[in-house]
Amino acid sequence: MPSVNTRAFFSKMDRAKYISHLDLNHCIQRAMKRSRLPIWQTEGFNPHTYVAFMLPLSLGQEGVCEAMDFRLTEEISPDEVMKRLNDSLPPDIRVLRIAEPKYKNTDITTAEYRVESDVDIDKFRSFTDSEQILTEKKTKKGVSTVDLKPLISMLTIEEDAITLRLPAGNDFNINPSLLFEAYKSATGEAISRLRIVRTHIFCADGNEFI
């Protein structure tokens, strides 16, 4: 069966940030079914729509550059695919662009985040200026201590938002919330508002993931 590899970039905002990654999978599968797009199904005992997600987003975080891959078994214009998906998706998940995949998810190395928060800007700046930012990171093997300082490849702190770039990918991923957890435990300050939006995903060659 001929099939066209297709990548959809989508946003996951507002209420949709509370959809866990596993539930997102179900949600997208059902949206695909509702869209009646000719999407390739896995074969075998329990056929289902094949969708692969590039980089899971943590529960509670938003994203404007999320990507998923699927295969179309007929040629359909990208505009039509986008329209039919958007008609079928929950209101807070929007497909922004349909493209032919260029990079593989293993090419991903970093991601950029925009964080809106009620942290004290000056305290946060002096905290991130310190030599080391040690924090505990949970991995499959257990809890290990990491120094976030050398991992932050970009950081701008402004009144309305903090922008930062961190390692991302399936092998090594740093969740931006770790930095804020570290800040909380180092300073004893509380953070009541923490809105994290993933704004860009980058590949090893420095280009944006497309």
Q: State which residue, 24 or 108, has the beta carbon closest to another protein.
A: 24
x/- mask, another protein, residues 140-179, rule CB under 8 A, reads: ----------------------------------------
Assess 97 for contact with another protein (CB under 8 A).
Answer: no
Assess 48 for contact with another protein (CB under 8 A).
Answer: yes
Assess 21 for contact with another protein (CB under 8 A).
Answer: no
How far is residue 104's CA from residue 111's CA, in Å, rounded to a whole number?
Answer: 15
Minimum CB distance to another protein, residue 55 (Å): 20
The correct pick among 6, 9, 32, 166 for binding another protein (CB under 8 A) is: 32
Between CA 69 and CA 74, with CA 73 as vertex, the angle to 5 degrees is 115
How far is residue 155's CA from residue 176's CA, in Å, rounded to a whole number?
Answer: 11
Pairing of strands 194-203, 62-72: parallel
Taking CA atoms, 208 is separated from 10, 107, 172, 190, in Å, by: 15, 10, 18, 34
Give me the half-sphere count of Cα atoms (radius 13 Å) on the Cβ side of residue 125.
8
Assess 42 for contact with another protein (CB under 8 A).
Answer: no
Q: Which residues bind another protein (CB under 8 A)?
A: 14-16, 18-20, 23, 26-27, 29-34, 36, 41, 47-48, 59-60, 88-92, 192-193, 195
